[in-house]
Structure 1
Amino acid sequence: MTRNRIRVDGIHGPDLHEAIPSRTIGEVLSTDFLPHGAVLAGHAGLGRQVARLNLMEVPDIESWLRPHDLLLATGFALAQLAAPLGTFFSRVNARGVAGIAIHLDDEFPGLPTDALAVANSLELPVITVSEPFALDHGLARGLRDLANRQVKAMYRAERVRRLLVDAVVAGGDLADLATIAAQELDAAILVTTSDGRKIATAGRDEELRALYSSSALDATGRLRTDSTDGGLGLHTTAGGAIAVCAISANGIDHGRIAAFSEQRELSCEDLYIVDKAASVCALVVTRDLAVSVMEEKHRANFVRDLLLGRGGEHSHAVAHARSFGWDLGRSIVVVAIEPDPVPDDSPQTPARMPLVDRQAKAFSGALAPRDSKAAVTALGTETVIIMGAGPNTMNTVHEIAAHVRGDGGGGRRPFSIGVSRPCAAVEDIPGAYAQARTAMKVGRQISGAWAATSFDDLGVFRLLSLVENEEELESFTTETLRELTEDTAEAQDMRRTLEALLATNINIAETARKMHFHYNTLRYRVVKLEKILGPFTDQPELRLDLSLALKIMAMRGINHQM
């Protein structure tokens, strides 16, 4: 099927109305289309290019805007905005509009000074005119048709909204809303978390198959949300078209709803309706959160008591856990998951629910098919899992970590995981939790971001982690390795050589082969190392000290570039 789409700053869609010859805001002001136009703000932006005019016939105009639009608005239309006018100016400026022309009337006789200050800071031209816009003017070609389309879309969106609200009142969930939206839009509907994990789908099987095979989803099956705009808006994909809107409630980004069609073009009208559906989905999210917040509080308090050794007798704790659907009467492990620190964690718009809460929900969804009786909860700065233990426990942990991690992006933050030894009694859970925390922290220090470490795999690092006096460890390392602790390329190279020699028990021939050195070159390096460190080739005790010092450097991150 031939598609007639144009690209607009990463968003695709059918043309809305005719473009005008490109000119600046200042040049449009010099025509008779805006008679007696007064520039109230944004004088510095009068050189912005205007590619077309757009008319504000609906309050939620953002879905209809494209870069280089000159937006025509009335005082009545602006009076219907729910957000402050300054916020509206920021939103339309983010869409790339060239400027805003406003016909003031009795509904909106003047513009607030704070809104004009916002426009000035954005260099967004704000122009007022005293006469209604002449839609029969040569520059306004196509505006009447655009206005009619906006009004029709508003009526259609209101019908969809009412159907969805009725479903919510009747107790419907996101799957029910997706089914109604799919019928009304004649498209496949996908509801996801804020980072693209599927929550619900609806639509014809052939449309859903096309969606699953399209480039709208990444290799892990997630909706792509990793572009600069969060994947929102109209997009052309390999295999169809998609309209994506955010599901936000109380200023928090809770997910996405997307309409996909393989058979037809999706337009700004479709995006407008999807946006209305997103607002009703937000009602369901808010309702469900209100119901679950108290339940989650009780679950988190119980898990916290277990970790602190206040869970009560084994039989009592097992019975109480069963009321939450958890099984503690088996061999279990404790898993601790903590977000890794990152240099920049700038806030997003809209804001998202706390990171640990998002990660806990993600791990809960990933673990449920593998262990439906595991406990997963967010506690402060970490996610704690109490799950069944078995011979493939670490494989399961790696699988759920890969599922949550996906292919990166979408705001996904790296995390580290620590896994305890198995235990069979509730009173052993505090000790298992300490093991999981130790494995997590040491694994992160040794392996960096995305580490998943079992306490049993720590080896000598487990003993070193028990030394709380870091100054003593660093002093031991400096005294043992001497100038090899320096943060220089030569010191790092010599440490690698020393580590390889210790790994082969000072077998020079084998070390030379592994490091691709000539035998005599490595002999020279051994002599140099012994001048710095002492006769370690003849003293097993010194070799032990050197090995421990190298491991301390790796664990504590001292010049950790080995």
Structure 2
Amino acid sequence: MENAPFTVQDLLQMPLFQGAKIISGHEGVANEIYYIDSMETPDLTGWLRPNELILTTGYSFRHDPNMLCLLLDEMHRVGGSAVGIKMRRYIQDIPQEAIHKSNIYKIPLFDIPLEIPFMDMTRSILDQILQRQAYMLRELQEVNQQFTNLVLNRRTTELVVLIGQLLNCEVAVLNQEEEIESSTAKFKKTDIAEKHNIRVGSRNFGYLSITRKLSEQDHFEQSCLDHAVTVLAIEFTIRQSQQLQLEREQEVFLVELLSGLNHEEELLRYRAKRLAIPQGPYIYVIVIKPFSRTTLDAEQIGRINNWMVREINTPRSITRKGVEVNGRVMILCSSVHKDIESQRRETEQYVQELLKKAVRLEEDISLVIGVGGIVERLANLSDSSREAQKALAIGEGSLPHQVVVHIHDVLIEQLLMDSADHPVLAVLTQTFITPLEAYDKEYGTNLLVTLEAFLRERNNTKRVAEELSIHRNSVLYRLERISEILKIDMNDAEVRLRLDLAIRFWKMKNVNRTTML
């Protein structure tokens, strides 16, 4: 038997209905019959179904034939198929309004021969419906088996072609961003007629798009479409599982690289290639820390870091791969440039891109970044990692207004930190820092802050005044007081060098060294 719907036309061609005559609604003879019921009660609402054939003797509206109009209204609302009436049993004539509505709604009204029992009619019609449904179920079972086999064997392209053949149209699978992942040969986005969500639970993974609007009455096509969406959900689930496994392996490998576990370079290169880890001619590490004018709690920091890692590790990213380690986002970066300025420029540009996208978090956040030096071997990446963490930690204390801090920006601070117990530093602190700290504490002044800004701005008192939001004359007065307290000549280059070393060492007193391990 062909997989064709059972229509009103098919019904009237059955031997049992040879004597039936269509009264009105001739244009609806192609209506599919999917259900059958008899009606002998006046209740017309709440129980009718789409594609349903109603058989009646007319008993329920024998005293009010116009109730037939209400029945037709309700059938039109739900998408009913036809009404068969045993004329001359309880009613003799069909009201003209009912005939008019039957024609308008394209719901056939036909006369059933009185001698045919409802039981015989119902059994014969159900036999036809069930045979077709059984055939359709066998077809759908075969289709579903083909769909499943193609998905399990990861042959998505063939699956899409098969869906297109079954639905007789062009088909495409789109991802969440509505980018085409797989499609039939002639598919065009401009031709999309229907788009169906591919969901797993409450999460939408993508869309199945087709270029023809399917008829709601074509149950086979609708069922094929439902099966297609279901198996594509399985395909996306498999992809997600594989992606999660890949991400776990990438994370473990990155942590190994950043921590400096000893491995042969050749083996590291092989693993990096297999896991799609960037390994260009020049590689380095950057460390990112989010901060806000309001204090961020651990949950907020975790949410921001998780977002950044997902954003960094998008499939489109081939030059960066990130991982969260001890509350910091660490990124392996690949570059074709070896010079520091290109490295800094690439980092600053990427940070700006991240900040633009971060508005979706609805957080007033900024980022501070430490950048390690360039290495050419994966085995040496841990050196760049340590440098990036040092640059971040030192930069927060010594360069508070600088977003991107390269390790070369804090070379002197590194030297001072490594020599923190040297007696010369103790002498410099005692000579230049302690007196000003005592004076600031006693009189509530900001001489140390002013001196730090003056040295950092290379003796430019105008920029110091703008930074501290005070008058330039106030800066000059403070510098004069510093000279008097320390008994020094601020114009002496040797003195300024010693002051600079002392101030740099003073600014690092609150640096958290544990973050640089």
Considering fraction of residues, name the structure with more helix.
Answer: 2
TM-score (norm 2): 0.46
* TM-score for the superposition, normalised by structure 1: 0.43
Give the greater-gyration-radius structure (CA): 2
